[in-house]
Chains A and B, each alone.
Chain A
Amino acid sequence: MERIYLDNNATTIVDPQVREAMDPFYCQMYGNPNSLHSYGIEVRPYLHQAMEQMYAGIGARDEDDVIINSCATEGNNTVIMGMYFNLLKDTRKKRLVTTQLEHPCVREACRFLETQGVQVTYLAPDRDGMITAEMVKEAINDKTALVSVMWANNETGLVLPIKEIAETCKEKGVYFHTDAVQAIGKVDVDLRDVPIDYLTFSAHKFHGPKGAGGLYIRQGASLPPLLHGGEQMGGHRAGTVDVAGMVGMGKAMEIAVDSLDFEDKEVRRLRNKLEDALLKNDDVMVVGDRELRTPNTLYVSIRGVEGEAMIWDLNEHGIAASTGSACASESLEASPILTAIGADKELAHTGVRFSLSRFTTEHEIDRTIEVANRAIDRLRQLSTSY
């Protein structure tokens, strides 16, 4: 069966060019970059090159740090735990401000700090799924140490007003962290324009390998490491660096940034085509203004069609999408974004996410439209509520 992958917000195919760049570091140049001998020496230029690509990709300045680690989960935890040991633990600063939209790796880290006596504000989005700079401003007080707001949401694709939020934090004199996992390669991320202290990303979300990530730390905002040990990453993150992973991530970053224009035009066109086609069915609703979303993401609610049942039918025809439906989760909890935007029960059960990539083809979208329409018809025939 022909398979079609429309779950690119979960993870992506590794770009063949990225894989090619990684290949020599497994069986040929496998030295430890910290070694003194030739095996160590020969890999170092590639790491420098990867660093160049990473710095250029997000517009970091030479004096800032981009720490290469294992994933965004690690980066986000490094920031939140680091903030605890630096400030929250025993200075007057006792508060964190974040949002209800964050990925569990931010939310649960905050929850953990609550057990250590830190006060956390979880901002609720407005009806459009947005967090505004105004909300952040109001939530900050003189005890606030850090604000953490994601750049783009993984479920809806909504892009938050990060520039204004960052500027608000700067004005108020609190540190600002953003989880940019869903933004890299989808929208312009340029730290020369935006005063951000900490930013995190994961390579596998932009056609790089799994298990490689980055944490940007602005000069002067340094944090204690999460992993203590050797001198790697200037002592900021101990552990032998995954050379192939880092090289692959550098290449993936370079291509992702070069492809932004394609993403904005071509991926957006295909996404809109799918969206328009689904909206031709009655009682279909899409979450979030199209112009305010990443170009690849579509979160749709189809009345009378339970989310897990929908992705089941799609999967039976080789199409991979995902759902925030309660019934499909380990905990039977509906996806927090749906509850957060005040969705009714029905929506909390019908949400289906399609996320495209620059590898998605027109043919794939046409086929998805056909299969999705048939699934909607079948499930609505079965349905009591339609």
Chain B
Amino acid sequence: MAKNDLIGGSLWEQYSEKVSERMNNPRHFGELTQEDAQAMNGRLVVANEGAESCGDTVRLFWVVGDDDEVIKSAKFKSFGCGTAIASTDMMAEMCIGKTVEQATKITNLDVEKALRDSEDEAAVPPQKMHCSVMAYEVIKQATAIYRNVDVATLQEKNIVCECARVSLQMVEDAIRINDLTTVEEITDYTKAGAFCKSCIEPGGHEKREHYLVDILARVRGEIERENNPDGVVGDDFLSLSIVKQIKAIEQSLDQYVRPALAGDGGGVELDDVCLGDDGLVHVHIKYQGSCKGCAGSVAGTLSFVQKSLQGTVSDKIRVVVAQS
């Protein structure tokens, strides 16, 4: 690893020939109109998709055959980097000749595979995998418009890692079956988090619903309590009086959290405890010492504190930083 990593790779060196070629000469860019659709005896579908965090956008045009639901023609427009353009182009190509049903099954992983020069060499560097996700999402959007259904009904449920298309269930299973204790292990087993890294912890390139750090903490907590059923768990904690809740939290902070943070010259102080709208107990904390103002470590520290409290007190706890 080290020998090759010390001189970091250039992004462009890691693009496959096929990616460069499609970037230079995309074959399917352009637009389709109602007239085009009529001439082909089909229906025009126009779908838009945008990745909010990076500002990339894509528009997909389909002409879908009236009698057979086959995509007769596909074109696209895109505001995005080279990888985004190349993967959208490949995606459009892959749609042609497929039925809408078949096209809906195309994923960004299929697009990336199709862009490879050789079977076992990735077409794009890991962080650029992210730029192909939009190509996948726009297909779902097009299908939803075609079928006149809510796009949510077509999306896979609970995808944790968009880049590697790993679901919440897959992550949970991997943790339990293999008794995983670190995020790196989750990545090794499932590939979740191996690409743009947005899904690992808050504060990355893109906001996510689930983060690997949180899932790990929760599942570890569950495993711990299954092994140690006498601890205060889950709903039991919610029914405790606030004083008892605070006591349990303080005790856990003293025992598990503060000693760990003290090593780096930092600390946390309990500011408030209250029941949140989400039905969880919100634990407001304040950073002290070196933890304070250290932007780089805030997200990491927060998730560490939460993980510890969830594991040792209750999984119904959410930790938030108190506004000062």
Interface residues of A (CB under 8 A from B): 111, 114-117, 119-120, 304, 306-309, 312, 315-316, 325-328, 330-333, 345-346, 348-349, 381-386
How far, in Å, is A332 (CB) from chain B's closest CB?
4
Within 8 A of A (CB), among B211-265: 264-265
- Tell which of A114, A312, A327, A381 has the most Cβ of chain B within 10 Å: A327
Q: Is A117's CB under 8 angstroms from B265's CB?
A: yes
Q: Is B77's CB under 8 angstroms from A306's CB?
A: no
How far, in Å, is B204 (CB) from chain A's closest CB?
8
Can you list 27 A-B pairs, Cβ within 8 angstroms, ordered by A?
Answer: A111-B296, A114-B290, A114-B294, A115-B290, A116-B290, A117-B289, A306-B56, A306-B79, A306-B81, A306-B84, A309-B80, A309-B81, A309-B82, A312-B23, A325-B81, A326-B54, A326-B55, A327-B128, A330-B8, A332-B54, A332-B196, A345-B54, A345-B55, A382-B78, A383-B77, A384-B59, A384-B78
**B63 is an interface residue with CB less than 8 A from chain A:** no
Residue of A nearest to B60 (CB): A384
A316, B25: Cα distance in complex, Å: 12
Residue of B nearest to A118 (CB): B290
**B91 is an interface residue with CB less than 8 A from chain A:** no
Choose one: A116, A308, A346, A381; the contact of B81 (CB below 8 Å).
A308
Taking CB atoms, residues of chain B closer than 8 Å to A328 are 11, 81
Q: Is B54's CB under 8 angstroms from A384's CB?
A: no
**B41 is an interface residue with CB less than 8 A from chain A:** no
Taking CB atoms, residues of chain B closer than 8 Å to A332 are 54, 127, 130, 196, 205
**B297 is an interface residue with CB less than 8 A from chain A:** yes
How far, in Å, is A323 (CB) from chain B's closest CB?
9
Within 8 A of A (CB), among B101-130: 127-128, 130
Q: Is A327's CB under 8 angstroms from B293's CB?
A: no
Taking CB atoms, residues of chain A closer than 8 Å to B59 are 384
A96, B29: Cα distance in complex, Å: 52
Taking CB atoms, residues of chain B closer than 8 Å to A386 are 79
Q: Is B265's CB under 8 angstroms from A116's CB?
A: yes
A316, B23: Cα distance in complex, Å: 11
Bits for B8-30, please: 1 = Cβ < 8 Å to A, else 0. 10011000000000011010010
Residue of A nearest to B196 (CB): A332
Q: Is B265's CB under 8 angstroms from A383's CB?
A: no
Q: Is A327's CB under 8 angstroms from B294's CB?
A: no
Choose one: B48, B205, B296; the contact of A333 (CB below 8 Å).
B205
Q: Is A114's CB under 8 angstroms from B84's CB?
A: no
Residue of B nearest to A316 (CB): B24
Q: Is A327's CB under 8 angstroms from B79's CB?
A: no
Residue of A nearest to B49 (CB): A384
Give the top 7 A-B pairs by smallest Cβ distance, nearest first.
Answer: A327-B81, A345-B55, A308-B81, A332-B205, A385-B79, A384-B77, A349-B55
How far, in Å, is A1 (CB) from chain B's closest CB?
14
Taking CB atoms, residues of chain B closer than 8 Å to A333 are 205
Q: Is A327's CB under 8 angstroms from B84's CB?
A: yes
A176, B192: Cα distance in complex, Å: 46
Residue of B nearest to A323 (CB): B81
Q: Is A346's CB under 8 angstroms from B55's CB?
A: yes
Taking CB atoms, residues of chain A closer than 8 Å to B24 are 316
Choose one: B54, B79, B297; the contact of A383 (CB below 8 Å).
B79
Residue of B nearest to A383 (CB): B79
Choose one: A114, A345, A383; the contact of B78 (CB below 8 Å).
A383
Residue of B nearest to A327 (CB): B81
A116, B294: Cα distance in complex, Å: 10
Q: Is B80's CB under 8 angstroms from A306's CB?
A: yes
**B74 is an interface residue with CB less than 8 A from chain A:** no
A117, B288: Cα distance in complex, Å: 10
**B131 is an interface residue with CB less than 8 A from chain A:** yes
Residue of B nearest to A111 (CB): B296
A328, B128: Cα distance in complex, Å: 9
Bits for B282-294, please: 1 = Cβ < 8 Å to A, else 0. 0000000110011
How far, in Å, is A152 (CB) from chain B's closest CB?
26
How far, in Å, is A70 (CB) from chain B's closest CB?
17
Contacts known (A114-B290, A330-B8, A332-B196); A312 close to B55, Cβ less than 8 A: no
How far, in Å, is A171 (CB) from chain B's closest CB?
27
**B58 is an interface residue with CB less than 8 A from chain A:** yes
Q: Is A327's CB under 8 angstroms from B131's CB?
A: yes
**B171 is an interface residue with CB less than 8 A from chain A:** no
A383, B78: Cα distance in complex, Å: 5
Taking CB atoms, residues of chain B closer than 8 Å to A325 are 81
Residue of A nearest to B128 (CB): A327
Residue of A nearest to B290 (CB): A117
Taking CB atoms, residues of chain B closer than 8 Å to A315 are 12
Residue of A nearest to B24 (CB): A316
A345, B81: Cα distance in complex, Å: 14
Q: Is B82's CB under 8 angstroms from A308's CB?
A: yes
Taking CB atoms, residues of chain B closer than 8 Å to A331 are 127, 205
A295, B290: Cα distance in complex, Å: 42
A327, B290: Cα distance in complex, Å: 32
How far, in Å, is A319 (CB) from chain B's closest CB?
14
How far, in Å, is A283 (CB) from chain B's closest CB?
13
**B57 is an interface residue with CB less than 8 A from chain A:** yes
**B309 is an interface residue with CB less than 8 A from chain A:** no
Interface contacts beyond A312-B81, A327-B83, A327-B128: sample of 14 additional A-B pairs, CB < 8 Å, sorted by A: A114-B294, A114-B296, A115-B297, A116-B265, A120-B293, A312-B12, A312-B82, A326-B55, A332-B127, A345-B54, A349-B54, A381-B29, A384-B59, A385-B79
